[in-house]
């Protein structure tokens, strides 16, 4: 479903702030694979997702989604293949607009937006039942402005919006990092439920190793702009945190001593 | 002068206020919905006036004058949109550049005459100060139609996409909306409405002046802010989009009534811009200061340990 080959990206080239963010990152995902992405700060996890989403053009490499070469497509044209949830709960929704309007915007992703009503009556009924499944009490607040919702509610809504039409690929960029632990696990549950329900192909960046192990059927670890570890199948199922640390040392040749971020359990 | 003169002039005052209100509806699109501080309107308001005057003088009807003014304004907005989206010029600067360029263009349109009279004695006009009551009805109907169309449009798929662009461009992109196209389009319709209002303004006052747009943005913002404060005060959270738009026009009316009173009090007309700036500053500052007064550090200090101070 995703074929990202040898991606290269350098920020601020030729300046004192030059940063090689992607240095040959390569990943192939089959349809229905749910891949968790881990790695230390600056490893290139979010950059990788942004490259796939088309936030900026890559310096080198090729990105195919479901066999379609999207390397040359700008962000808004790639959007029809992608569902996205961001780290900041404010990013994924339009605060000044109503819940139903936000969902309707997502329902028209990649379609031509004409002069038909922005939200139709039948849509509202559909959204009501979709929100009810989330069990967050949002179904009775369809016409409330999204800005009034909590961070967790906004992330749950963004998730729903990302999957309202089946995306070819769901990109989750540390979407629970800004939430309190209880809300984070609720949002993760919803994530897992939606991915299973729609049999989605997904990438989820996380700083939490336990989540990376518990969720999904594929795991990659990134370091210095590259995918350095690729685990799937039975191996993924039986994976422990100790295994992961051990493997990291094996592959990178360095010890996992001072990166406390990635160790958070 | 007695109060009777002020009251007798009221239909004209209100009509003028509604024309400003129509202009403010255009500014509302960029300022409120697109979150884009567009200063090109000072130019496009005068463009509308100049185009309308020339069309009428050349013997065509006021209908064509309004239509061509609308199109000219759309072009002006398109230029600002291109400067911003294609050439990456920041919003305020892009608007100022268009505004500056339009000053020369407006003079050219008006055949290098800074002031073009279009007397209602000689021409058939859409509105005129001479026939206050008719003018009032006409501009009222026009304002209602524009509000209705805006209410409808911003409820459509396209209008929603435009609003999403203004409130959260990152989200808009992720939903497949071309932020650049939406911004440019918003500027086009905004300036088209502003120029349309300029065309009404020129006819109403019987002349098109190359300086008539000076301060248009501030008057527009005054209308929007006065309307907003009033709407909040009267309807609190119950307000909806149509009501907000209606109150923008109401803000224009109140603004111009205020100006009429100031003029009636024999304040020098040259000080008008100063008054306008002061009104806008007050209306911008009051909600902020009110909010601050409710949650200030000095109050917190005074409350000290008391829970229910």
Distance (Å) from the C-alpha of residue B212 to the closest C-alpha of chain A?
34
CA angle B34, B38, B41 (to 5 degrees): 125
Least confident residue range of A11-20, A139-148, B297-306: B297-306
In Å, how far are A52, A77, A162, B123, B211 from B179, measured between CA atoms? 19, 11, 19, 44, 33
Inform me whether the C-beta atom of residue B149 falls under 8 Å from chain A C-beta atoms. no
Best mutation target among A118, A147, A161, A169 (most B Cβ atoms within 10 Å) is: A118
Scanning A115-144 for CB atoms below 8 A from B yields: 115-119
Domain assignment present for B248: no
Q: Are B214 and B103 in contact (CB under 8 A)?
A: no
- Among the partner-chain residues A95, A96, A110, the one whose CB lies closest to the CB of B176 is A110
Domain assignment present for B233: no
Mean pLDDT of chain A: 90
pLDDT value of residue A249: 79
Top-confidence residue, B305 or A207 = A207
- Among the partner-chain residues A92, A97, A109, the one whose CB lies closest to the CB of B163 is A97
Note whether A91 contacts B159, CB cutoff 8 Å: no
Distance (Å) from the C-alpha of residue A251 to the closest C-alpha of chain B?
35
**Structure ipTM:** 0.89
Inform me whether the C-beta atom of residue B211 falls under 8 Å from chain A C-beta atoms. no
Domain assignment present for B158: yes
pLDDT tens digits along A229-249? 899 888 888 888 888 888 877
Chain B residue closest in CA terms to A163:
B175
Inform me whether the C-beta atom of residue B174 falls under 8 Å from chain A C-beta atoms. yes
pLDDT tens digits along A127-156? 999 999 888 889 999 999 999 999 999 999
Domain that holds residue B28: 3-211
pLDDT value of residue A25: 94
Note whether A105 contacts B173, CB cutoff 8 Å: no
Q: Would you place residue B90 in the very low, low, confident or very high pLDDT band (cuts 50, 70, 90)? A: very high
pLDDT value of residue A198: 93
Domains along the sequence of chain A with CATH = 2-95+165-263 (3.40.50.300)
Domain assignment present for B62: yes
Q: Highest mean pLDDT: which of A11-15, B140-144, B255-259? A: B140-144
Question: DSSP secondary-structure letter at A115?
Answer: S
pLDDT value of residue A260: 47
Inform me whether the C-beta atom of residue B1 falls under 8 Å from chain A C-beta atoms. no
Report, in this order, helix, strand and coil percent for chain A, each rounded to 5.
Answer: 40, 25, 35
Task: Copy the structure tokens of residue A203.
Answer: 């990438």
In Å, how far are B98, B184, B185 from B82, measured between CA atoms? 10, 7, 10
Distance between CA atoms of residues A88 and A175, nearest Å: 7
Domain assignment present for B307: no
Distance (Å) from the C-alpha of residue A159 to the closest C-alpha of chain B?
12
Note whether A116 contacts B170, CB cutoff 8 Å: no
How far apart are the two ends of chain B, measured CA to CA in Å?
52
Residues ≥6 apart with Cβ < 8 Å to A83: A161, A162, A163, A167, A169, A170, A171, A200
pLDDT tens digits along B266-279? 888 888 888 888 88
Domain total of chain B: 1
**How many beta-carbon pairs below 8 A join chains A and B?**
85
Note whether A105 contacts B164, CB cutoff 8 Å: yes
Least confident residue range of A187-191, B181-185, B272-276: B272-276
In Å, how far are B4, B121, B165, B255 from B265, measured between CA atoms? 13, 30, 45, 15
Inform me whether the C-beta atom of residue B157 falls under 8 Å from chain A C-beta atoms. yes
Which chain A positions have a beta carbon within 8 Å of B240's beta carbon? none
Which chain B positions have a beta carbon within 8 Å of A114's beta carbon? 156-158
User: Is it the case that residue A263 has pLDDT exceeding 60?
Assistant: no
pLDDT value of residue A261: 47
Domain assignment present for B74: yes
Domain assignment present for B194: yes
Domain assignment present for B272: no
């Amino acid at each position: 479903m995703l074929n990202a080959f040898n991606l290269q990206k350098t920020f601020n080239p030729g300046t004192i702030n030059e940063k090689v963010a992607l240095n040959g990152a390569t990943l192939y995902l089959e349809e229905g694979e749910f891949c968790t992405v881990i790695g230390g700060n600056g490893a290139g996890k979010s950059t990788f997702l942004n490259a796939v989403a088309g936030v900026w053009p890559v310096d080198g490499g090729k990105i195919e989604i479901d066999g379609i070469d999207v390397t040359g497509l700008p962000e808004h044209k790639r959007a029809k293949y992608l569902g996205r949830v961001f780290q900041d709960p404010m990013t994924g929704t339009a605060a000044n607009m109503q819940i139903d309007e936000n969902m309707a915007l997502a329902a028209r992703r990649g379609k031509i937006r004409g002069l038909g009503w922005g939200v139709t009556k039948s849509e509202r009924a559909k959204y009501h039942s979709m929100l009810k499944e989330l069990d967050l009490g949002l179904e009775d607040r369809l016409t409330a402005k999204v800005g009034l919702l909590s961070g967790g509610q906004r992330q749950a809504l963004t998730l729903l919006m990302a999957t309202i039409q089946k995306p070819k690929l769901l990109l989750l960029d540390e979407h629970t990092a800004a939430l309190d632990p209880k809300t984070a696990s609720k949002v993760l549950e919803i994530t897992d439920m939606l991915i299973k329900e729609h049999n989605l192909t997904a990438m989820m960046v996380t700083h939490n190793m336990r989540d990376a192990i518990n969720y999904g059927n594929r795991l990659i670890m990134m370091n210095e702009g590259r995918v350095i570890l690729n685990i799937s199948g039975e191996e993924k199922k039986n994976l422990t945190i100790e295994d992961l640390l051990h493997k990291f040392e094996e592959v990178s040749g360095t010890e996992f001593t001072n990166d406390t971020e990635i160790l958070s359990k | 002068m007695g109060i009777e003169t002020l009251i007798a002039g009221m239909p004209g005052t209100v009509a003028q206020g509604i024309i400003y209100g129509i202009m403010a509806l255009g500014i509302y699109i960029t300022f409120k919905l697109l979150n884009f501080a567009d200063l090109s309107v000072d130019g496009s308001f005068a463009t509308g006036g100049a185009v309308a005057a020339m069309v009428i003088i050349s013997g065509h009807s006021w209908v064509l004058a309004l239509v061509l003014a609308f199109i000219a304004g759309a072009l002006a907005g398109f230029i600002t949109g291109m400067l911003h989206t294609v050439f990456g010029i920041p919003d305020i600067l892009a608007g100022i550049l268009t505004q500056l360029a339009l000053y020369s263009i407006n003079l050219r349109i008006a055949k290098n005459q800074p002031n073009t009279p279009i007397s209602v004695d000689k021409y058939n006009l859409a509105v005129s100060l001479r026939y206050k009551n008719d003018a009032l009805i006409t501009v009222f109907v026009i304002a209602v139609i524009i509000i209705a169309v805006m209410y409808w449009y911003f409820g459509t798929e396209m209008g929603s996409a435009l609003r999403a662009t203004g409130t959260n461009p990152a989200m808009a992109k992720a939903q497949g909306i071309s932020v650049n196209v939406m911004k440019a389009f918003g500027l086009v319709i905004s300036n088209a409405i502003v120029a349309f209002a300029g065309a009404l303004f020129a006819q109403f006052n019987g002349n098109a002046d190359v300086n008539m747009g000076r301060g248009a943005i501030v008057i527009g913002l005054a209308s929007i802010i006065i309307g907003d404060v009033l709407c909040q005060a009267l309807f609190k959270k119950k307000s909806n989009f149509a009501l907000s738009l209606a109150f923008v026009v109401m803000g224009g009316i109140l603004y111009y009534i205020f100006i009429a009173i100031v003029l009636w009090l024999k304040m020098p007309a040259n000080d008008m811009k100063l008054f306008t700036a002061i009104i806008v500053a007050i209306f911008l500052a009051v909600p902020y200061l009110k909010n601050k007064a409710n949650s200030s550090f000095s109050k917190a200090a005074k409350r000290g340990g008391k829970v229910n101070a």
